[in-house]
Chain A
């Protein structure tokens, strides 16, 4: 069986941090990252059991930093095998997020002076495709979810030295309106639902550090935790990535 889920979310963070520290008034940033994702999934449409495994991600982001605001487009794709003991499934996870971020102020924190940002509308498209290997190909199930979220986020970023910087951020939804559609052979169901963070929680937290190799090139290490829960699907990811970013 194959499970295919598309989720579109639009977030309105009140406070979000997600951009690399760049003091240029107008610059572009191109970043490529890969690493490993440790995924845990419980999809009640397929099984009541938890499946865990590692996926290999490819993350591409393109950002434009201006004086008044920043925007970036981040696309990530991860695939791999998840297991429940000796029962396997293949998982494909696709994410596309578009952020608009507005600087607010910097502040003193112990011996550091991180800056903070306000985030605008951030559409997020998430696709989840799962093929269970316990059975022969049979029913094909896909679900389409479109959700509009009002989210609350916090974060800060700063420098540890001339060459080393850090970024910490988290985002979660407050209210979301979701359209879900599931299709298998001969059966189609569509539903809409207004839900809150308590019924459809989405939480993402990120911690990243980067090292300036040369003036326009940075290498980064990142960790991101994501948790999503909507009706029959619970999903949590730990992502560890290594990135190269070019600013020009």
Chain B
């Protein structure tokens, strides 16, 4: 009996039951179905293959063997690698684990650490006033220069018109206005158009879009002077200003009394959609080409500032927001 128990114990020590009771799942058919669906969606919907000179057929040849050779969940990494070939900051893969963005634009990476909201607040004597859910805040510098910070254009239930009118009315007596959309990653142009409408004097016909190879005329933004502001404006932008923010910068640039200061925006010029894959993963993909006023794509090109003021992480660490300082001096003079 003693020997029997010792032997049983020794055998069990060297065995592992956990892998036996949790079997591996074979997924060859589903991963190939996902790969083919991703390739076809991009081939069918993505508007920048020609512009970016991407040979999408060659990408199929390149990645099909990799997908076939992958095991288990490895194929998701290969799908991410495939989508990263598009070099598009809007593109990603939605897994059950969360969303994976497949590419970061070079200017975005360059300016990632060159802005600090805490440093900006140090230029104010008083706390900035938050509107609604905090996407917008505003204040005055030296009681002369107004400042509005817009963090995002994400859709929400709030009435953005109320928020922007409140901010503008509060700053109506300032000598100049700084609108800061640095590090604003985008959202809905429906919201950025609300803000644009407050500053244009004439109806603004925006550039059209290209979708599925077809050109569509742009909308007309009507001026809304519910909260008029007639003094000069500086719009601060940088490489992390992306997507809807670039559309906003594009349209604000048409206004004579608006000067864009900072760095060229990220270069993400398109609307996105989610597409289901057979495995219940989703692909987030640009399906629309948004244009600049010269009819070149915003994608990759971005919107250039009127006055280039570059700043780096070192400037921030040293307590200098050079772009904001330039804007203040520019408006004072």
Interface, chain A (partner B; CB < 8 A): 1, 38-42, 45-50, 52, 84-87, 109-112, 132, 134-139, 160-161, 166, 207, 209, 221, 223, 225, 227, 234-238, 240
Contacts and interface: CB of A to CB of B under 8 A. Distances in A.
Nearest to A131: B97
Contacts of B13: 221, 223, 240
Nearest to B80: A134
Contacts of A111: 1-2
Categorize the interface residue count of chain B: 20 to 34
Contacts of B74: 84-87
B22 A47 contact: no
26 contacts: A1-B98, A38-B16, A40-B19, A40-B21, A41-B22, A42-B22, A47-B97, A48-B25, A49-B25, A50-B24, A52-B19, A84-B73, A84-B74, A87-B77, A110-B1, A135-B98, A136-B101, A137-B98, A138-B99, A139-B98, A209-B9, A223-B9, A225-B18, A234-B22, A236-B17, A236-B18
A46 B97 contact: yes
Given A50-B24, A161-B2, A236-B18, A1 B97 contact: yes
A236 B73 CA distance: 20
Contacts of B72: 49-50, 84-85, 87
B18 A38 contact: yes
A50 B22 contact: yes
A153 B1 CA distance: 22
Nearest to A86: B74
Contact of A85 (B1, B23, B25, B73): B73
A237 B18 contact: yes
Given A86-B77, A112-B1, 6 more contacts: A1-B96, A49-B25, A136-B100, A160-B2, A166-B5, A235-B22
B77 A134 contact: yes
B100 A134 contact: yes
Nearest to B8: A207
A50 B19 CA distance: 9
Contacts of A207: 8-9, 12
Nearest to A137: B98
Given A40-B19, A48-B25, A48-B27, A85 B97 contact: no
A160 B95 CA distance: 54
A20 B164 CA distance: 72
Interface in B56-78: 70-74, 76-77
A57 to B, nearest CB: 14
Contact of B17 (A46, A161, A238): A238
Contacts of B5: 160, 166, 209
Contacts of B9: 166, 207, 209, 221, 223
A168 B5 CA distance: 10
The 8 A-B residue pairs with the shortest CB-CB distance in the complex, in nearest-first order: A138-B98, A132-B97, A135-B98, A236-B18, A1-B97, A40-B18, A40-B22, A84-B72
Contacts of A87: 72-74, 76-77
B96 A45 contact: yes
B156 interface: no
B6 interface: yes
A153 to B, nearest CB: 18
Contacts of A42: 22, 25
Contact of A136 (B70, B76, B99): B99
A50 B23 contact: yes
